[in-house]
Amino acid sequence: MKNYELILPMGHVWFGDLPNQWRYATEHFEENIAENVAALPTVERSVCLKFFLPSFHGSSGILGAHFLPDDSKQFVIRVGVTNRVEQNRIVINGLNDEYAAVVLRETIAWVQETNYLGAGILQFEYGAYDRIDSNIFVFRLLTRSILDLLNPSLDIDHLSVQDVTIIVQKALASILSN
């Protein structure tokens, strides 16, 4: 997988080596393990999304994940949590308990619906939220979009802005229908 960034109408998406400025020091991981998962012929992938959605009252957020396939027969979801808040900052690097719980719940729901990644570790340890403009909805959308972008059937080395926009719109429709 090559490393590249696309500038979207509502943010950015990075593939491959994710931007270090959004990787955060975790205090602990929220974790869920699904057992008896088949090892599928998938590859290691990383995706990070940054959204600013003015039509949703200025919703913004950043989330990134790394999937490492293995033959353990387990699908492990790890969401890093940090509750360190710098008093003079509006944008906080990391995910607090609330947003980490949203990411974990959304990923568990996705695993129950479909898991085309197979056995391995899916780790969310890139992210940031805005004390004013972030909300649960934007982290649900970020999570669903990332999971769809990790799909091994996508040729992510050749995705266009239009391709990513369609994937995000599909994730949005999925959230709004539930």
Answer whether residue 13 shows pLDDT above 80.
yes
Q: Which CATH number covers residue 76?
A: 3.30.230
Answer whether 102's CB lies under 8 Å from 136's CB.
Answer: yes
pLDDT > 80? residue 89: no
Domain count for the chain: 1
How big is the CA angle at 73 (ends 67 and 75), to the nearest 5 degrees? 40
One-character DSSP codes across 36-54: SPPP-S---EEEEEEEEEG
- pTM, entire model: 0.92
* Per-residue pLDDT at 1: 65
Task: Please state, in angstroms and rounded to a whole number, the distance separating the CA atoms of residues 50 and 13.
Answer: 6
Residue 29, CA distances (Å) to 23, 64, 106, 173 in order: 14, 15, 16, 29
Q: Token pair of 25, please?
A: 């020091």
Residue identified by tokens 């982290």 is: 139
Structural domain span for residue 125: 4-177
Q: What is the pLDDT of residue 57?
A: 62
| The pLDDT of residue 55 is above 60 | yes
Token pair, residue 101, equals 């719980």
Residue 58 banded pLDDT, cuts 50, 70, 90: low
pLDDT tens digits for range 108-159: 999 888 878 889 999 999 999 988 889 999 999 999 999 999 998 898 888 9
